[in-house]
Amino acid sequence: MDTEQKLNILAESSRFDLACACKYKHEPGRIRGPEGRWIYPASLPSGRKVFLLKTLQSNACENDCSYCPFNRAQNIQRCTLAPEQLARTFMQLFDANRVGGLFLSSGVNGNADTTMARMIATVELLRKRYHFRGYIHLKIIPGADALAIEQAIRLATRVSVNIEAPSAERLSQLSRRKRFHQDIIGAMSTIKRCLDENNGGGSQTTQFVVGAAGESDREIVRATERLYQKFDMGRVYFSAYQEFSAAPVTRVSSRGLLFDDLYENAAPESAPGFIREHRLYQVDFLLRKYKFSREDIYFDDNGNLSLESDPKMVWARLHPEFFPVDVNRADYEQLLRVPGIGPIGAKRIVRDRRQGRIRTLKDLSSLGVRARVAGEYLALPVS
């Protein structure tokens, strides 16, 4: 195959790495570029969006992850791009204004260190030979050497190692080769140390595969909260498990958890994967942006979030004593508890009511509030 054919295969393969199903209507999402390849949005610290070419360096893999359509048991067409091939092709796309950055991952082709060396060589070519100064997200291969991780952090804008499951027990049901503590948590610790030594330059993220290991939403939410606390994650992502035809993987039991209280014996009820993914993103936003705590998130008897109602609405219905909220007196954090009001709307309410009272739902709509939803939970002035 020539470079173009390989890139078509590898870029298409990368779509399984992050579903990107959860977004609001006004936000850019995953799209197909002019050549049919998937292009992904990323947010810069300035707030500007940049669109990334997302591709694998190789879809050859030594791992046996049962959730992955490219594990070593699959009979598929395999290919690998050499660093020079990938760097040169990316720059052609960049110079043609087709993409603004790169999201580079890979199957484990050889072992973790040889795979990382190939990916780092690609990024080094972009930075040093082609003088590309834009956004690069580089995946860290679980089990990679600390020196390779340090080098990746120096070259990339953002790095990530996928946690995939909320505990060693859950991960052991999916793979006999990946070591939860040594390969994944160890890599996160190294990344955190390097970022701290860089005085906050760069950031790391991670991702769960939702629904592959029989885990509950409560397990994922607890692990997510601790990942933010322990590793200062820039973001935690959730990707709904996508069924595919796979050869069976022998599930191996193991002991030792990252967080001993996370494991639950009860498997969740089957549910539409993308709705579940969406609910987990909503919880993530409540914890990061809305001043909610984990105790404010409600789960059913199986430890799962409601598929019918968003978690903020569930909280509101269970706390009628909190409402109605006086829109002209409530502080910022009280306004954030109101369904239909987000951080931007709450800030605008606090700002605009200094110049005059907010009287009607129309006033709220002009501030970016979903007024029909919020109106049921607010006290407005009597006309």
- Is residue 138 included in any domain, yes or no? yes
> Residues 85, 6: contact at Cβ < 8 Å?
yes
- If 0-12 CB within 10 Å is exposed, 13-18 middle and 19+ buried, where does residue 245 land? exposed
Based on the domain organization, do 330 and 262 belong to the same domain?
A: no
Based on the domain organization, do 108 and 131 belong to the same domain?
A: yes
The H or E element that residue 144 is part of is: none
Max avg pLDDT among 29-33, 41-45, 96-100: 96-100
Based on the domain organization, do 168 and 298 belong to the same domain?
A: yes
**Distances, alpha carbon 114 to alpha carbons 83, 90, 110, 152, in Å:** 12, 21, 6, 13
Distance from C-alpha of 79 to C-alpha of 11, rounded to nearest angstrom:
11
The three-point CA angle 122-124-126 to 5° equals: 75
3-state SS class at 39: strand
Residue 14 binned pLDDT confidence (cut-offs 50, 70, 90):
low
Based on the domain organization, do 287 and 365 belong to the same domain?
A: no
pLDDT value at position 383? Answer: 58
Domains contained in the chain, number: 3
Based on the domain organization, do 20 and 89 belong to the same domain?
A: yes
pLDDT value at position 32? Answer: 53
Based on the domain organization, do 277 and 145 belong to the same domain?
A: no
Give per-residue pLDDT as tens, 60-107.
999 999 888 888 888 888 889 999 999 999 999 899 888 889 999 999
For 23, residues 6+ apart whose C-beta sits below 8 A from its C-beta are 29
Name the residue range of residue 309's domain.
162-178+200-318
Question: What's the token pair of residue 62?
Answer: 């030594």
Question: What's the token pair of residue 256?
Answer: 């030792």
Name which of 117, 118, 122 is nearest 136 in CA terms.
Answer: 122
Name which of 353, 373, 352, 350 is nearest 361 in CA terms.
Answer: 373
pLDDT value at position 24? Answer: 47
- Is residue 62 included in any domain, yes or no? yes
pLDDT of 211 above 80: yes
For 145-173, the DSSP string reads -HHHHHHHHHH-SEEE---BSSSHHHHHT
pLDDT of 365 above 80: yes
